[in-house]
A and B are shown apart, each in its own frame.
Chain A
Amino acid sequence: MSSKVIASTSIKARPLSPSEIDEIEHEMTLYPDKRAVGLEALKIVQKHQGWVSDESMLAISRYLDIPVSDLEGVATFFNLVFRKPVGRNVMLFCDSVSCWIMGCESIRKHINDKLEIDYGETSADGEFTFLPVPCLGDCDRAPVMMVGPDLHRNLTPEKIDKIILDYSNKPGTGKTE
């Protein structure tokens, strides 16, 4: 046998930052079982780092003593855990039924043209990642989307232009550090 090292074994856990540890420790007081904190820890790391890298995944796995395969199973199950880097602002674009009836496909097309990205892609300048999201529960003001934590309603091409301009000029919401 050759001494070839499989890719994953060369990945080292990165040290969690003090604030990440503080927040994970706080979550641990809220649940009777450490395993329940796995998703919370993924979200905490994502809040600070923008996404969940393999190095972060290993760090959480060790810190909470959850097998990395279990943690990866959870991370890939949920729509909002990002296992690839994302832009400074994540656009969650509602593509469900009421928004579709109210013309969200033409808004999507406008974003495609304006930022030259479609679902799953990040703009060349790293400002925006464009993702579809299931029904955002604001159907009486369709079409809607979120940018970072903010909800934008009754979308029109003009509103999209303004949103893109506004977020390009302000600190990103994907990462807080």
Chain B
Amino acid sequence: MVVKPLTKNIDMSRPPMSVEQYQGAGGYVSIKNIANGLAPEAVLQLVKDSGLKGRGGAGFPTGLKWSFVPMGDNAPKDKYLVVNADEMEPGTFKDRLLMEGDPHLLIEGMIIAAYTIQASKAYIFLRGEYTESEKALSQAIKEARKAGFLGRNILDTGFDLDIVLHTSAGRYICGEETALLNALEGKRANPRAKPPFPQVSGLWGKPTIVNNVETICNLPGIISHGVQWYQSLTKGIDHGTKLFGVSGRVKTPGCWELPFGITIREVIEEYAGGMQDGYELRAFLPGGGSTDFLLPEHLDLTLDYDEIGKAGSRLATGTMIILDDKTCPVGMVGNLMHFFSHESCGWCTPCRDGLPWVDQIFIDLEQGKARPNDLQVLHDHVEYLGPGRTFCALAPGAMAPLGSALKHFKEDFDAHLSKKCCPYGTH
């Protein structure tokens, strides 16, 4: 039985599979299942039963998200499926692998999702810089259309679907689903107020589902092999497999499809080969730049959404960033603050004005110009830009590494103040 449903076809030493090769490897079976009489309600039930949670960072149950879309004869005729392929979370490199390695898997998943909510048009919102993904997806969409998996009356189901590949022009905030919808409509990518939620009023005011690439890539397996198989994959609490990655000063950085429930230690020490010679693990961000630092004492935690949550951080994108003992934690957080400050969309005041202030304090710390009270200003920002204080999750995300760094690396912040420079030397 398949144990790596997301990456089984991926071999980056060759081009991705063509539609024929993909079908030969068991691809598009789920669409045939649908054509054999699986109704949208039945697909929705399978996805709900599978326990699939969104892989974009928030971990919201996918079936529940879909269930808010109006269905039936009175529902709006136009609905949209949008795939969030705007991967830009610092330290996150998982969706690229899926799109460049096996683009037909994403297309198959999109057909399932669009069929379930009865959307006849789907957009892939792809990061403009992902030129290789663009090539792979364009080619795969063409092939899928030719093979009859896209277009009108797909496999005689009466269901139509077109996929448009939209390439963006670079802004992190586009990963926020309502900002993404504004960007797709040709507007500045400021987030929208919720409610109404996109499921009811999304793209051009129509019911819209926005799902992450990896989330969508889970669907073909669930529909082809069933809920029982899907739930047998995990070693822990959450169901299915997940792409986990490690970057930083480890021996073999990379991204691997692994079952939920394996320990952080296994990923860092076995898959990533442990720390490079001469470096020790100081701390790590478990799921990209918007997560709280965890420490070596957390290595035996299992990778499940709730387990990481209980330790005070988030599983988020599942791509870990390693802080070693030779790298300045203040510099690392300063780098993140610069990113978030630059990528604030400017819509709400705390984020627009708060993040550049934080960024400037980190520059001052680095240059020995910071004042003792500045650390209190940083603490204040962690509170003022925290969850519920801003229009969207960007600033609270930025405060996660900052707040945890102030707690765990107090002596390093103090050393920057007392020595009036970075004690780790220049970077």
A interface residues (Cβ-Cβ under 8 A, vs B): 30-33, 35-40, 42-43, 66, 70, 73-74, 77-81, 92, 95-98, 100-103, 105-106, 133-142, 146, 149-151
Contact = CB atoms under 8 A, between A and B. Distances in A.
Given A139-B319, A140-B253, A80 B128 contact: yes
B205 to A, nearest CB: 11
Contacts of A77: 171, 188-189, 345
Interface in B180-212: 183-189, 204
B169 A135 contact: no
A78 B170 CA distance: 6
B93 A138 contact: yes
A70 B253 CA distance: 43
B79 interface: no
A9 B192 CA distance: 34
B170 A39 contact: no
A33 B204 contact: yes
Contacts of B167: 43
Contacts of A40: 166, 186
A66 B186 CA distance: 10
B186 A39 contact: yes
A134 B339 contact: yes
Contact of A97 (B184, B253, B339): B339
Nearest to A136: B129
Given A33-B186, A80-B129, A97 B170 contact: no
Contacts of B204: 32-33
B381 interface: no
Given A39-B186, A79-B169, A80-B170, A101 B321 contact: yes
B129 A140 contact: no
A36 B90 contact: no
Contacts of B34: none
Interface residues of B, number: 58
Interface string B155-189: 00000000010111111100000000001111111
Contact of A35 (B93, B185, B339): B185
Residue from A35, A133, A135 whose CB has the most chain B CB atoms within 10 Å: A135
A133 B335 CA distance: 13
A151 B132 contact: yes
A38 B186 contact: yes
B186 A30 contact: no
A115 B23 CA distance: 49
Given A36-B184, A37-B186, A74-B188, A92 B129 contact: yes
Given A74-B188, A97-B91, A134-B170, A30 B164 contact: yes
Nearest to A138: B93
Contacts of B171: 77-79
A78 B169 contact: yes
Interface in B43-91: 78, 87-91
B92 A81 contact: no
Nearest to B167: A43
B343 A134 contact: yes
A140 B254 contact: yes
Contact of B172 (A134, A146, A149): A134
Contact of B248 (A92, A102, A149): A102
A103 B91 CA distance: 14
A106 B427 CA distance: 7
B321 A97 contact: yes
A40 B123 CA distance: 14
Contacts of B88: 134-135, 137
Interface in B185-241: 185-189, 204
A79 B174 CA distance: 12
B247 A96 contact: no
B95 A137 contact: yes
Given A37-B186, A43-B169, A137 B131 contact: no
Given A77-B345, A101-B248, A133-B170, 20 more contacts: A35-B186, A35-B187, A36-B186, A40-B186, A74-B186, A95-B338, A97-B332, A100-B332, A101-B327, A103-B427, A134-B88, A134-B172, A134-B343, A135-B89, A135-B90, A138-B96, A140-B247, A140-B255, A149-B131, A150-B131
B132 A96 contact: no
B394 interface: no
Residue from A97, A106, A142 whose CB has the most chain B CB atoms within 10 Å: A97
A42 B254 CA distance: 36
B249 interface: yes
A142 B247 CA distance: 8
Residue from B172, B186, B324 whose CB has the most chain A CB atoms within 10 Å: B186
